Amino acid sequence: MKVIINGSDGAMGTLLARAIAQTDDMEVIAGVTPTGADGAYLTMDAYQGPADMVIDFSHHSVTTELMDYCVKRGLPAVVCTTGQTEEEMAYIAKAAESIPVFKSANMSVGVALVAKIVKEVAAKGEDFDIEIVERHHNRKVDAPSGTALAIADAINDASGDKYEYVYDRQSRRRARDNKEIGISSVRGGNIVGDHEVIFAGSNEVIEIKHSAMSRELFADGAVKAALFLAGKPAGKYEIGDMIK
């Protein structure tokens, strides 16, 4: 499998190249980054050589360019970049009508299992107040994390969309009601990524927590996603489909 890495000189792009090098029958055929580091192409369009797959760990502002390129060339794409706007997410969904696209805010199987578990807890424990706390390293620019939102969405989907998300209690100055999911972000040091879902009831609290120990986890997940996606028909896939 010949892979193009978009965001090739980023922290994740570098780890991904290493993970691909350790995977049989997979190679990096081209890197793309606006810095042009290590001989990479400056834009997706600049590379028109052979390719079987695009894996993207870059910036959400290139979503349109990325999807246009993959659609034009009929290439499947694993989109690991987070922070997309609603319009950009709609663009991905549109592209997935003609190519297979794997999009997950978190490429960890453990996080996918957390999303599965919290849905069940939320459905059965209606009286619990739900709060999500995410922690990441001090270089992360988007907040809350895409994973925190994906976990909140999983709960909301399983609960008839009844929850409103609250990110900032400081400006609200009123008691929370039961139809809120509070989402808080902590940034510091080199925390790889923690997500904690708190179900606070009267006299009991359930906490479900996932901690990523190394960012290699996400690179390995992207490799697994590419292997999963190869040969699939057009459509939008996510990590839940893979763990099924």
Ligand X SMILES: NC(=O)c1ccc[n+]([C@@H]2O[C@H](COP(=O)([O-])OP(=O)(O)OC[C@H]3O[C@@H](n4cnc5c(N)ncnc54)[C@H](O)[C@@H]3O)[C@@H](O)[C@H]2O)c1
- Residue 75 Cβ vs ligand X, minimum distance, rounded to whole Å: 17
Catalytic residue among 60, 136, 195, 224: 136
Cα 156 to chain centroid distance, Å, stands at 18
Nearer to ligand X, 163 or 228 (CB): 228
The residue among 61 and 211 lying less far from ligand X, judged by its C-beta, is 61
Nearer to ligand X, 99 or 112 (CB): 112
Q: Say which of 2, 137, 140, 232 is annotated catalytic.
A: 140
**Smallest distance from the beta carbon of 221 to ligand X, in angstroms?**
6
Q: Which residue's CB is nearer to ligand X, number 107 or number 197?
A: 107
Nearer to ligand X, 155 or 224 (CB): 224
Indicate if 210 belongs to the active site.
Answer: no
162 in active site:
no
Q: Which residue is nearest to ligand X (CB)?
A: 10
Residues that bind ligand X (CB under 6 A): 7-13, 33-35, 57-59, 61-62, 80-83, 104-107, 218
Q: How far is the CB of 9 from ligand X (least distance, A)?
A: 4
Q: In angstroms, give the least distance from the CB of 126 to ligand X.
A: 31
**Residue 158 tokens, joined:** 């399983």
Distances (CA, A) of 115 to 128, 129, 138, 160, 232: 17, 17, 25, 16, 24
Q: What is the closest distance, in whole angstroms, from the C-beta atom of residue 56 to ligand X in the complex?
A: 8
Residues identified as active-site = 136, 140
